[in-house]
Structure 1
Amino acid sequence: MSAVTLETVPRRPTGAVRTPSLPRLTRVELRKSCDTRAGRWLLAVIVLAVAGTVALGLFTSDDALSLSDHLQFTQLATGVLLPVLGILLVTSEWSQRTAMTTFALVPRRSRVLTAKVLAAAGLALLGVAATLVVSAGAVVLTPLVTDGSADWSLGAAELGGVVLLQLVYVLSGVAFGMLLLSSPLAIVTYLVLPTVFTVLVTTVGALDWVGDWLDLTTAGVPVAEGGADAQGWLQLATASALWLGLPMALGWLRIERAEIS
């Protein structure tokens, strides 16, 4: 009787590796963002850029800036640099040749990619939180170092728009990283291509309507200011589909099918 009982008890195969949970994978990806020398330097540059932007607004503006103004200014720095960190979150696996190890430990590539997307979203939210704290510090210092008074005005719609746009920008960086799988190529393409597109649609009068619907910078202005109407939200959706949805879909498919060496 005891022999039958032992035979019917399922046993875990010898050497079987338990797949990490998605939250654990996300924490690992977050740690990867600052484990490399490039990641640490980029984070340091982001901190310095945010501090410099706030200092410029605090000491060079003729009028006292509100919390909303400081927050908008700080997004100029994080909106450019944080997406680069999102790119490195993907491309570092390929440049450092650790992709084979990663996908050997977690064979389901979509699970790893999902963790990278969640980690990038977490970095975007942390970036907004950090800039909000720095902006609040600037408001506290305003009456101490200038003749102006502290202005804490910040609408919920404005804050929500800043958060949404930061998410879109960082995930766009991840998307370009997935599509190109090369840090230099992805960074240059992400920074140059949208800029050239913006210059083109703003200088050629016949392309104004294209800018309204497909230029992420133009479509994001009403959302960041908290005054977007139904058409404004639709324009942001179409621009996001071009600069975020399309490259991420193509990049995701490429990684799923790529030969790893």
Structure 2
Amino acid sequence: MTITDFRAPLPPSAGIDLDSPAIPFTRLVRVELRKLVDTRASFWLTASIGLISATIMVAMLIANRNTPENLDLGEFFGIMNIPTAIILPVLAILLVTGEWSQRTALTTFTIEPRRERIIGAKLTTAMIAAVAAVALALILGVIGNGIAAVAYDDPAGAWELGSAGFVNSFVIQAFGLLLGFGFAALILNTPGAIVAYFALPTALSVLSELVPWFKENLGQWVDCTLTQMPFQSNEWASGGEWARLLVSAVVWVAIPLGLGVVRVMRSEIK
């Protein structure tokens, strides 16, 4: 990233001119999209999505050679969403914490002192990444299903995929991205945010399994692993399942994200 990426007017000698023409928001989003893949870590994380997905596709084709009914577009599409659901939240964390871990926040917020616009651009980038993840899963699913249709007999290679599968996949991708984004904004440290993203929900899931009372009374509302399960299929979730997901989203996404935004807006840049 360079200053010319923004082409912002130079600040007067007395300080930053907050009344200067705002940088177009679309330009901020383009810069954030480039940040999502232009560092060494983010590049290899992105590349690993393709490598892992290809490996899973081959393994799925081999493992189900005697059960062709398991080789249809819906199955491939669902499986292809797994690598992106794991790796994309880490990319979202790097997108937020990179400014602070690499000490580039001073440059970013000098070029665009309106911090809320930077946060908005990063959030928009995360949502674009969620849509791209679903599209990538669909493309890989079509490739895998096409191979199955050629290599095996019917019903392998069936092209049935309902709209519920698309909606559920986007919900899962967006939930994970926003969860990682919220922890990143709250902690502003890459290792800490990654550990929190993986460790805290996992610890709650372990608690749900070890304490049946907690699982039956609270876990089904606040354990995001449980609340996301109905969305890991190609069937529409019920109203109650949506309600439980929204409650867990408030606990794991809205609260950390809200507190994180406040911290980013108020943190001293060093």
| 2:67 is equivalent to residue 63 of structure 1 | yes
Which residue of the partner structure matches residue 50 of structure 2? 47
String of CA shifts for 1:37-93, please: whole Å, max 9, x gaps. 111011111111121222221211242322111121122211111100000000010
| 2:132 is equivalent to residue 126 of structure 1 | yes
CA-CA distance at 1:133 after TM superposition: 0.3
User: Could you tell me how far apart the structure 2 residues matched to 1:130 and 1:112 are?
Assistant: 26
CA-CA distance at 1:13 after TM superposition: 9.7
Which residue of the partner structure matches residue 35 of structure 2? 32
Q: 2:223 aligns with which of 194, 215, 229?
A: 215
CA contact (8 A) 1:71 1:135 kept: yes
| 2:265 is equivalent to residue 256 of structure 1 | yes
User: Could you tell me how far apart the structure 1 residues matched to 2:11 and 2:52 are?
Assistant: 52
Which residue of the partner structure matches residue 151 of structure 2? 145
| 2:86 is equivalent to residue 83 of structure 1 | no
User: Could you tell me how far apart the structure 1 residues matched to 2:161 and 2:67 are?
Assistant: 17
Structure of larger gyration radius: 1
SS at match of 1:152: coil
String of CA shifts for 1:179-226, please: whole Å, max 9, x gaps. 111111111110111112112212321122322111112111212322
Which residue of the partner structure matches residue 5 of structure 2? none
Which runs of structure 2 are paired with 1:16-31 in the superposition (5 Å)? 18-31=21-34
User: Could you tell me how far apart the structure 2 residues matched to 1:221 and 1:72 are?
Assistant: 12
Q: 1:196 aligns with which of 187, 192, 203?
A: 203
CA-CA distance at 1:14 after TM superposition: 8.3
Percent sequence identity is 36
Structure whose residues are more often helix by fraction: 1
CA contact (8 A) 1:59 1:146 kept: no
User: Could you tell me how far apart the structure 1 residues matched to 2:246 and 2:219 are?
Assistant: 13
CA contact (8 A) 1:223 1:233 kept: no
Which residue of the partner structure matches residue 6 of structure 2? none
User: Could you tell me how far apart the structure 1 residues matched to 2:219 and 2:82 are?
Assistant: 19
User: Could you tell me how far apart the structure 1 residues matched to 2:99 and 2:197 are?
Assistant: 18
User: Could you tell me how far apart the structure 2 residues matched to 1:258 and 1:98 are?
Assistant: 14
* Matched length: 250
Which runs of structure 2 are paired with 1:143-182 in the superposition (5 Å)? 143-148=149-154, 149-182=156-189
> TM-score under structure 2 normalisation?
0.88
> TM-score under structure 1 normalisation?
0.91
SS at match of 1:260: coil
CA-CA distance at 1:18 after TM superposition: 3.6
User: Could you tell me how far apart the structure 2 residues matched to 1:157 and 1:254 are?
Assistant: 37
